[in-house]
């Protein structure tokens, strides 16, 4: 259970990219993509075809999120990260069925809420 929660938090943080540094999580884009894929595989019950496509998509967008770290200004980082996240969501929506995508969004919202609470506690 702890592993699932930690992985879920990582998925949220990495999908927002710009916040990952604040939590001291220094993972490579490949490691982040792998964690996201594993989480999705376990929680969304991906079939083999979906798994291959999602794995590739997660790596593509983890690499894009990595570039966000080089952007000056937190607001600019946040805007860039959100744009990348929205692009990824559009592609994911085409790869997942309705139930899987709804579960993905629901879990992401909950994990984002938890990440915000953790960030407030750290201040």
Q: Residues 4-19: pLDDT tens digits?
A: 544 455 555 555 444 4
**For residue 82, what are the CA distances in angstroms to 1, 6, 10, 64?**
28, 22, 16, 12
Mean pLDDT of 114-122: 79
Q: How many other C-beta atoms can be found within 10 angstroms of the C-beta atom of residue 120? A: 8
**Cα 15–85–81 angle (5° rounding)?**
80
Give per-residue pLDDT as tens, 74-95: 899 999 999 999 999 999 999 9
Domain span including residue 95:
2-122
What pLDDT is attached to residue 12?
Answer: 53
pLDDT one-digit tens code per residue, 18-74: 444 444 458 999 999 999 999 999 999 999 999 999 999 999 999 999 999 999 998
User: String of b and e for 18-48 (b: at least 16 CB within 10 Å)?
Assistant: bbbeeeeeeeebeebbbbbbbbbeebbebee
Pairwise CA distance, residues 75 & 81, whole Å = 10
Domains contained in the chain, number: 1
- Residue 8 backbone dihedrals phi, psi, to 5 degrees: -65, -40
How far apart are the C-alpha atoms of 87 and 63, rounded to whole Å? 13
Query: pLDDT value at position 25?
Result: 56
Instruction: Name the band, by pLDDT with cuts 50, 70 and 90, for residue 111.
Output: confident
């Amino acid at each position: 259970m702890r592993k699932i929660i930690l992985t879920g938090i990582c998925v949220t943080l990495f999908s927002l990219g710009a916040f990952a540094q604040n939590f001291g999580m220094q993972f490579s884009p490949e490691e982040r993509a792998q964690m996201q894929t594993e989480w999705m595989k376990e929680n969304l019950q991906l079939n083999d075809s979906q798994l291959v496509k999602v794995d590739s998509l997660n790596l593509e967008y983890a690499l894009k999120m990595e570039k966000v770290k080089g952007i000056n200004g937190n607001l600019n980082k946040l805007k860039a990260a959100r744009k990348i996240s929205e692009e990824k969501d559009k592609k994911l929506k085409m790869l997942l069925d309705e139930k899987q995508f709804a579960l993905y969004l629901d879990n992401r919202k909950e994990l984002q809420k938890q990440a915000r609470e953790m960030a407030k506690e750290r201040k």
